Amino acid sequence: MTDFDVIVVGGGPAGSMAAEAAARGGAKTLLLEKDRDIGYPVRCGEGVGASGLKQFIEPDPQWIAATISRVRMRSPDNTKVDFGMKDAGYVLHRRLFDYALANRAGNAGAEIQTRAYVDGLMVEEGAVKGVKYQYMGENRELSTKIVIAADGVESRVGRMAGMRTATKLRDMDSGYQATVGNVDIDQEMIDFFIGSNWAPGGYLWIFPKGNGMANIGLGVNGKVAKDFSAHDLTHKFLNEHFPKASILTSVCGGIPIAKTLKTITKDGIMLTGDAARMVNPVTGGGIITGMVGGRIAGEVAATALQTGDLTPNGFKDYPARWQKAEGKTHDGLHRVADAIFEITDEKLNKMAHRLAKIPPDELSLMKIFTAVARQKPSILIDVTRAFAGV
Amino acid sequence: MILVKDNRCDFCGTCVAVCPVDAIELREADISIIHDTCIDCDICIWVCPIDVLSSDEKKEEVKHD
Ligand SMILES: Cc1cc2nc3c(=O)[nH]c(=O)nc-3n(C[C@H](O)[C@H](O)[C@H](O)COP(=O)(O)OP(=O)(O)OC[C@H]3O[C@@H](n4cnc5c(N)ncnc54)[C@H](O)[C@@H]3O)c2cc1C
């Protein structure tokens, strides 16, 4: 007898979805979170697409900060390209949203423990058999049949199992964000600044948070992060564009814009969410994709417990279903990101001048990225596949 | 040797994710560099969004100018 069937490490969206799915599938499940709080600190712009969200949970006014219907993209010379969003989006209060997801996992039967820092795995003959963790200065051990590592960008639990999770610099954006008040912005629009002046290799975002507040942050690509500080650029931007803004919170964080790890399972362990590098490589969005990955991992864990095959063979539906759902698209988007990287500010300006002439209701993400693909036709198929209907 | 500037780390884990040799340990509000494992490649310094990491070589450079 093991203490648990499934132990999930990490209480973000991926971990909570995994724990919920495993518990619903009949597994005796425990979720361990190192921080004092589920959902805090919030290292996230908190933007999600509506249809992505609704496949998992009905939007609840308690954790919806703003509803988005318009998008603005700005080129380095501040040319504005505006268009409507076919699929409306939301800016969340993740602190409450993450709570809601964890609460749902708890209601499904999963046990949840905070202040529990996993610092090792029990491994026998190459197979993961349990976790070691610290709770309030006390070392504890629990045996389990399956570990689901949803430990976010750090992804150390996978390393403890001997998996390669380290991310290349090119595949990491160095991010910083301030949640600010007293800003006069359109509360239904998300606003992006692209180009090397504000966010070299990444982008700057303004996401409304209701009541005159906004998340304003940016990511600098790791390849050029040596020469730029995400913190300094954000504050420079705030000084220039919103000198009266009050800074209510500021956080930093890494956004792994990599392809999904080649190997996301090993004997007795599955990796999911940021830990498995499931973030959209172009947008840096990882909330919904982490939920997709987490739910599949939890479901496959529950099935594998029934068959008793706790090897990568028993888990093989997990990578297969992930590849079909998002992984394949992400591989293409990774190539698109590479192409965007190569576009000079001058070319971005030219593209923006052209696109700005198109009426907002005729413009779409698909059209914008097709313009990008014109710079590098080999990515046209990737663009079509990823943005059809968006 | 990689050094963490006093009390300025935000514990976001970006450095942990790129460390090629798993030489950074991070808890809720505690970061430590495992100096025996660290290979001084410095990429953690570059990727840190708030520049709280440095190497002692850099420290000396600063002293000299
Ligand atoms: C600045 C920034 C802006 C972003 N903006 C957006 C956005 O607008 N939209 C979007 O969709 N995505 C965004 N992302 C990405 C998004 O935040 C992540 O992809 C998402 O949180 C991933 O969910 P997760 O559950 O995999 O990991 P996380 O939410 O990071 O959760 C991992 C959890 O594991 C815990 N943990 C880690 N190690 C251990 C351990 N050893 N033991 C126990 N617990 C552990 C952590 O404390 C954490 O709570 C942004 C990211 C950053 C950094």
- Among A307, A326, A345, where does a domain finish? A326
> What residue numbers bound the domain in which A113 lies?
4-42+95-168+258-326
The reply to whether A247 and A114 lie within a common domain is no
pLDDT at A390: 65
The pair of three-digit structure tokens given for residue A269, joined into one six-digit string: 């362990």
pLDDT at A51: 94
The reply to whether A80 and A174 lie within a common domain is yes
CA B3 – CA B15 distance, rounded (Å): 12
The reply to whether A180 and A85 lie within a common domain is yes
Strand partners, A120: A132
Does residue A304 fall inside a structural domain?
yes
Asked if A167's CB is within 8 angstroms of B50's CB, the reply is no
Which ligand 1 atom is at minimum distance from the Cα of A205? 8
How do the domains of chain B map onto residue ranges?
A: 2-52
pLDDT at B65: 38
Interface test with B, best of A115, A154, A157, A251 (most B CBs within 10 A): A154
Contact (Cβ atoms closer than 8 angstroms) between residue A66 and residue A207: yes
Question: Whose C-alpha lies nearest to ligand 1, atom 27?
Answer: A152
Over chain A, what is the mean pLDDT?
A: 96
Residue A74 Cα to ligand 1 midpoint, Å, equals 27
Q: Say yes or no: A113 contacts chain B, CB-CB below 8 A.
A: no
To test the pocket of ligand 1, the residue of A33, A35, A44, A99 to mutate (highest count of ligand atoms within 8 Å of its CB) is A44
pLDDT at B36: 96
The pair of three-digit structure tokens given for residue A121, joined into one six-digit string: 């795995």
* Token pair 């309030």 in the structure block, residue: A136
Q: DSSP labels for B5-25? A: -TT------HHHHH-TT--EE
pLDDT (tens digit per residue) in A133-153: 999 989 999 999 999 999 999
Q: How many domains does chain A have?
A: 3
Asked if A230's CB is within 8 angstroms of B43's CB, the reply is no
pLDDT at A125: 95
Contact (Cβ atoms closer than 8 angstroms) between residue A71 and residue A81: no
The mean pLDDT of A257-268, rounded to a whole number, is 98
pLDDT (tens digit per residue) in A298-348: 999 999 999 999 999 999 999 999 999 999 999 999 999 999 888 999 999
- Among A326, A349, A367, where does a domain finish? A326
Residue A211 scores a pLDDT above 70: yes
pLDDT (tens digit per residue) in A72-88: 999 999 999 999 987 78
Contact (Cβ atoms closer than 8 angstroms) between residue A315 and residue A270: yes
Strand partners, A207: A215
Does residue A55 fall inside a structural domain?
no
The reply to whether A208 and A348 lie within a common domain is no
Residue A15 Cα to ligand 1 midpoint, Å, equals 10
Residue A389 scores a pLDDT above 70: no
pLDDT (tens digit per residue) in A159-177: 999 999 999 999 999 999 9
The mean pLDDT of A123-135, rounded to a whole number, is 97
> What is the interface pTM, i.e. ipTM, of the complex?
0.93
pLDDT at A365: 86
The mean pLDDT of A87-92, rounded to a whole number, is 92
Cα torsion angle, A102, A287, A52, A305, sign: negative
pTM of the model: 0.96
Does residue A47 fall inside a structural domain?
no
Asked if B12's CB is within 8 angstroms of A43's CB, the reply is yes
The reply to whether A153 and A203 lie within a common domain is no
Residue A71: which CATH number? 3.30.9.10
Does residue A48 fall inside a structural domain?
no
> CB-based contacts of A285: which residues, under 8 Å, 6+ apart?
A47, A48, A49, A279
Of chain A, the percentage scoring pLDDT greater than 90 comes to: 90
pLDDT at A17: 98
Q: DSSP labels for A176-245? A: EEEEEES----TTEEEEEESTTTSTTSEEEEEEEETTEEEEEEEEETTTGGG--HHHHHHHHHHHH-TT-
Q: Say yes or no: A115 contacts chain B, CB-CB below 8 A.
A: yes
The reply to whether A8 and A124 lie within a common domain is yes
Does residue A318 fall inside a structural domain?
yes
Question: Whose C-alpha lies nearest to ligand 1, atom 39?
Answer: A151
Contacts by residues A234-237 (CB-CB < 8 Å, ≥ 24 positions apart): A234/A176, A234/A177, A234/A178, A234/A204, A235/A178, A237/A193, A237/A198, A237/A204
pLDDT (tens digit per residue) in B6-65: 789 999 999 999 999 999 999 878 899 999 999 999 999 999 999 999 998 754 444 443
pLDDT at B59: 46
Nearest CA in chain B to A218: B49
The reply to whether A238 and A198 lie within a common domain is yes
To test the pocket of ligand 1, the residue of A87, A101, A151, A264 to mutate (highest count of ligand atoms within 8 Å of its CB) is A151
pLDDT at A89: 95
Distance from CA of A235 to the nearest CA of B (A): 11
pLDDT at B62: 44
Q: DSSP labels for A284-324? A: ---HHHHHHHHHHHHHHHHHHHHHT--STTTTTHHHHHHII
The reply to whether A17 and A101 lie within a common domain is yes
Q: Which amino acid is at A223?
A: K
Q: Which of A161-165, A278-282, A373-377 has the lowest mean pLDDT?
A: A373-377
pLDDT (tens digit per residue) in A281-308: 999 999 999 999 999 999 999 999 999 9
3-class DSSP assignment, residue A366: helix
Contact (Cβ atoms closer than 8 angstroms) between residue A270 and residue A319: no
Residue A61's CB is within 10 A of a number of other CB atoms, namely 7
Residue A109: which CATH number? 3.50.50.60
CATH 3.30.70.20 fits B2-52, yes or no: yes
The reply to whether A152 and A104 lie within a common domain is yes
The reply to whether A281 and A307 lie within a common domain is yes
Residue A287 Cα to ligand 1 midpoint, Å, equals 8
- Among A256, A281, A299, where does a domain finish? A256
Does residue A8 fall inside a structural domain?
yes
Residue A206 scores a pLDDT above 50: yes
The reply to whether A146 and A99 lie within a common domain is yes
The mean pLDDT of A18-43, rounded to a whole number, is 97
Rounded to 5°, angle at Cα A49 from A48 and A54: 100
Q: DSSP labels for A333-346? A: HHHHHHHHHH--HH
The reply to whether A346 and A369 lie within a common domain is yes
Q: In chain B, what is the straight-line distance between the N-terminal and C-terminal CA atoms, in Å?
A: 20
Does residue A52 fall inside a structural domain?
no
